[in-house]
Amino acid sequence: MTRVVLASASSGRLQVLRQAGIDPLVMVSGVDEDQVVAGLGPHASFGDIVRALAGAKAQQVAGELDAALAADCVVIGCDSMLFVDGELRGKPTDADTARAAWATMAGRRGELYTGHCALRLRDGAVVHRESQFGCTTVHFGTPTDDDLDAYLASGEPLWVAGAFTLDGRGGWFVDRIDGDPSNVIGISLPLTRRMLANAGLSISALWQANPVT
């Protein structure tokens, strides 16, 4: 019975998996994201950056599993960043940063990159590793000043890549997307399904081993 371990603190990713019939064990890594990015050098592509961050998170969590869990599990790590206005953005550091981000996002489009890493563990050893990324184009609306003030005051933009959500309050200010919506929330179900299949795991078996109660 293969246990799914989600190496992420994201409530959005957890909700996507639960709504899709899998209740994972959540373990949050303590990866220094700035250090990971700095180690890639100045010429790393956007896909390389989010894949490296997802891989670092999955690897760190995999190294902290107890023997019983590591006997048969798959660790999924993810990381998302938004490319807009010539800049790759993660989570804003404060409300002022989020406000400045929205000043350049409103009425425009950006590309949401999400890196994914799947580590298949058997008997304590990693027997399969794969990392990929998805990219979805997001077309942003233009919130009124009052709406933006209230959105920033909610605190939601400070916890998410690009200072917006699709599945929360920020969804009011997204006009449309081109591509996979689950990738915008933080974990692409189609991409993850293919990665799990490459690791020899079926969705039906994971439903059975990780039921949502």
Residue 79 falls in the annotated catalytic set: yes
Residue 126 falls in which region: left (phi positive, over 0), alpha (psi -120 to 50) or beta: beta
**pLDDT band at residue 38 under the 50/70/90 scheme:** confident
- The share of the chain scoring above pLDDT 70, in percent, equals 100
Residue 204 in tokens: 């039906």
CB 187 within 8 A of CB 116: yes
C-alpha span between 26 and 10 (Å, rounded): 9
C-alpha span between 51 and 45 (Å, rounded): 10
Q: What is the pLDDT of residue 192?
A: 98
Q: For the chain, what is the domain count?
A: 1
The domain in which residue 97 lies consists of: 3-209
Where does residue 180 rank: exposed (0-12), middle (13-18), buried (19+ CB within 10 A)?
middle
Please give the model's pTM, rounded to 2 decimal places: 0.94
- Among 152, 183, 185, 189, CA closest to 168: 185
Q: What is the pLDDT of residue 64?
A: 95
| CATH number of the domain residue 179 falls in | 3.90.950.10
**pLDDT, tens digit (0-9, with 9 covering 90-100), for 92-115:** 989 999 999 999 999 999 999 999
Of 23, 34, 48, 79, the catalytic one is 79
